Amino acid sequence: MTTDILRYAAFAHDPAGGNPAGVVLDASALDDAAMQAIAADVGYSETAFVTSRDGDRFRVRYFSPLAEVPFCGHATVATAVALGPGEHLFSTNAGEVPVLVDEAGTATLTSVDPHVSELATDDLAALLAALRWTGDDLDPALPPKVAYAGAYHPVIAVTSRERLADLDYDVPALTALMTGRGWTTVQLVFRAGADEFDVRNPFPVGGVYEDPATGAAAAAFGGYLRELGLAGGAATIALRQGDDMGRPSRITVRLDPEIKGVRVSGAAVPMVS
């Protein structure tokens, strides 16, 4: 049986930008091993698999080239845009994620409830060592924490854009640390303005050096900003990602005091075959 695999660039209007995602809209006949094999063959940071559908409710699972992940934002955006305009409800391993797609091909997901926890001193030291950074690189206004909105991401903010651009980490060391702590990516951040950030996301546990756009980490970062009082009750935050990789990605994060989840928006377009 042939499996139809769609390829989309998420968080971009140009297929040369954004984060590529594989999308399988009918994975009802695939077992775990088959989905993992497809994700490895596709080679993108994640491929989304719709394993069942009931009206506008979809069971969705996400696989990196190496393992299943509980939630993936950019593959959610890609899958929702592939499904077409309207309101969709994704049932993921992390919980239910509503997604609204407009006529222009922009998807807005609402994350599961976020939360923020402390980053242990020893873990911070190990993380900085793996990144080949030091405590002097850190922005004291944005303290290191672990943020969650469907997956766990340490948040590490630096004081200069140049430090963020100089990403050359110890792959085995960071992989071992992230695996041991259950972290999906590491959210590296530089604050470029009041509501504007440049971000990068190492993802060695998924078999990818770096993600060009990371919607799950964007949602977690929105929860981080809200919980630490670093963004207003109602705020719109612009994230730039992928520029250092040559795949510019633009992510919009919205905080609404009326809802616990974080809204993450972005476009998605088919990849050029």
One DSSP character per residue, 26-51 reads --TT--HHHHHHHHHHH-SSEEEEEE
| Per-residue pLDDT tens over the stretch 178-221 | 999 999 999 999 999 999 999 999 999 999 999 999 999 999 99
What mean pLDDT comes out for the span 222-236? 93
With respect to residue 109, please indicate whether it lies within any of the assigned structural domains: no
Tell me what percent of the residues of the chain surpass a pLDDT of 70: 99
Q: Burial of 228 by CB count in 10 Å (0-12 exposed, 13-18 middle, 19+ buried)?
A: middle
CB 205, CB 183: distance < 8 Å: yes
Looking at the structure, tell me whether residues 252 and 187 fall in a common domain: yes
Give the separation between CA 208 and CA 206, rounded to whole angstroms: 5
* Secondary structure (3-state) at 17: coil
Residue 236 confidence class, pLDDT cut points 50, 70, 90: very high
Give the separation between CA 262 and CA 216, rounded to whole angstroms: 10
Of 54, 72, 103, at which residue does a domain stop? 103
In the numeric block, the tokens 């950074």 are attached to 133
Domain count across the chain: 2
Q: How many CB atoms lie within 10 A of CB 98?
A: 16
With respect to residue 110, please indicate whether it lies within any of the assigned structural domains: no
Q: Which of these, 172, 161, 126, 121, lies nearest to 145 by C-alpha position?
A: 121
Backbone angles phi, psi at 153, to 5 degrees: -140, 115
Looking at the structure, tell me whether residues 26 and 156 fall in a common domain: no
Please, which residues have CB within 8 angstroms of residue 91's CB and are 6 or more apart in sequence? 57, 58, 59, 60
Q: Which of these, 148, 1, 170, 131, lies nearest to 70 by C-alpha position?
A: 148
Q: How is 105-150 classified by DSSP, letter by letter?
A: SEEEEEPSPPEEEE--HHHHHHHHHHHT--GGGB-TTS--EEEESS
With respect to residue 59, please indicate whether it lies within any of the assigned structural domains: yes
What mean pLDDT comes out for the span 76-91? 98
Give the separation between CA 89 and CA 191, rounded to whole angstroms: 33
Catalytic residues: 46
With respect to residue 1, please indicate whether it lies within any of the assigned structural domains: no
Residue 22 confidence class, pLDDT cut points 50, 70, 90: very high
* Secondary structure (3-state) at 83: helix
Give the separation between CA 139 and CA 160, rounded to whole angstroms: 9
pLDDT at 2: 77
pLDDT at 259: 94
Q: How is 213-241 classified by DSSP, letter by letter?
A: --HHHHHHHHHHHHHTT-S-SSEEEEEEE
Looking at the structure, tell me whether residues 39 and 89 fall in a common domain: yes
Looking at the structure, tell me whether residues 230 and 139 fall in a common domain: yes
Q: The domain containing residue 44 runs over which residues?
A: 6-103
CA atoms within 13 A on the CB side of 81: 29
Extract the tokens encoding 102. 């407009």
Give the separation between CA 249 and CA 177, rounded to whole angstroms: 27
Extract the tokens encoding 264. 């993450």
With respect to residue 108, please indicate whether it lies within any of the assigned structural domains: no
What mean pLDDT comes out for the span 44-59? 97
Q: Which residues pair with 86 in a beta bridge?
A: 101
Q: Any idea what the CATH number is for the domain that residue 70 is in? A: 3.10.310.10
